[in-house]
Amino acid sequence: MKFEVKKTLDNSQARAGEITTDHGRIQTPIFMPVGTDASVKAVDQRQLTDTVKAQIILGNTYHLYLRPGLDILHRAGGLHQFMHWDRPILTDSGGFQVFSLSSIRKLKDEGVEFRSHIDGSKHFFTPENIVDTQRIIGSDIMMALDECTPGNADYEYAKKSLELTTKWLKRGYAHFKATEPLYGHSQAYFPIVQGCVYPDLRRQAARMVADLGAEGNAIGGLAVGEPTEVMYEMIEVVNEILPADKPRYLMGVGTPANLLEAIDRGVDMFDCVMPTRNGRNGMLFTAQGILNMRNKKWADDFSPLDPTGTAWVDSYFSKAYVRHLFIAQEILALEIASIHNLTFYLWLVGEARRHIIEGDFKDWKRKMIENVTRRL
């Protein structure tokens, strides 16, 4: 994997870049649709390619490990072949999912023992077997196993958690370097900066991660209960240390405004379930503001869903029709909303990139944040 910074700014940490993988190039800043179970919910691969214009998607190691399982994925030739997706894939290590199962998992120095949320069966993840698992999945970018510390954790818990994550990271990276890909394409390994909301822990973690010299780096443990302004502060603290010649991935974030603020602070990559999850619940994000499609005000509004939108569904369907679909609980509503929201997110980061290159990102961002946070 290669990363090249194409444009920087004097009045912002925002930058336009390009990641090159064996499955294609990725223009940054970039948003990655979440395909947890080898599927982006309610959106098929053709729509992802042709309408959403997704350049890379995300799969989840925890879910794929449990179902369909590693044997099926290996026999299929990896996740790309299994789901018929020929563009890049990033896989989360599963750490966030495992640690959200706090009542049915046990942390140990060796790794984490947990029970499947599907059938209660017992499993054990280690930094090493998570690398092996992601070798079988065949993602272009794999993530290190870490503990995602809650945003309200006290200092002592956060410190001990970071110590464990650091041990796991060193073991996982050593195993990554000692093993080879299985399907003929290269794989990158991203360590994750933790440290909760404590600047000294974040700096310690960022220095350790930077010293590894991996092909890219991630910022985890944010948007997990801490105030938004604290999240922005932690991004600034970390990005002062993480190398500028490597892509920076902010995990699990977030709203359109969150993306723009993080881009301003030097983040290159994002993923979040918000566009699809909120879309399935009737919330649509647009460049003019936020639409609640269950609102009665749209019942007789026959104007296009989003006259300035870039997805084909935006001009093809009216607000009244899409509201009707939601009220009638028609599955088509979920598809339309998911396609719209994902296309908007990809449009938003694409516009951010364009304005970085043109040099007026700060002014554009200020106006756009006013728009995307407005309720219509």
- Which tokens is 294 given? 């269950």
Q: What is the C-alpha to C-alpha distance for residues 161 and 147, in angstroms, rounded to an integer?
A: 7
Is the Cβ–Cβ distance between 15 and 8 less than 8 Å?
A: yes
In the chain, what is the straight-line distance between the N-terminal and C-terminal CA atoms, in Å? 42
Q: Write the DSSP string, 262-293.
A: HHHTT--EEE-SHHHHHHHTTEEE-SS-EEET
Q: Which string of DSSP letters, residue by residue, matches 22-47? A: TTEEEEESEEE-B-TTSS-TT--HHH
Give ∠ CA 70-71-76 in degrees, rounded to 5: 95
In sequence order, which residues have a C-beta less than 8 Å from that of residue 177 and are 6 or more positions away? none
* Cα–Cα dist 159/175, whole Å: 25
Catalytic residue (one of 268, 271, 306, 314) = 271
Name, in order, each residue with C-beta under 8 angstroms of 292's C-beta and a sequence gap of 6 or more: 282, 283, 375
Q: Is 92 a catalytic residue?
A: yes
Of 366, 375, 369, 373, the residue nearest 11 (C-alpha):
366
**Residue 132 is a catalytic residue:** no
Whose CA is closest to 13, among 265, 354, 267? Answer: 265
Selected catalytic residue, list 92, 140, 268, 314? 92
Which two structure tokens, joined as six digits, stand for 287?
């460049």
Tell me if the bond preceding 68 is cis, omega within 30° of 0.
yes
CA 282 to mean position of chain CA atoms: 21
For residue 190, list its beta bridge partners: 143
- Report the alpha-carbon distance of residue 73 to residue 284 in Å, rounded: 34
**Which residues are catalytically annotated?**
92, 271
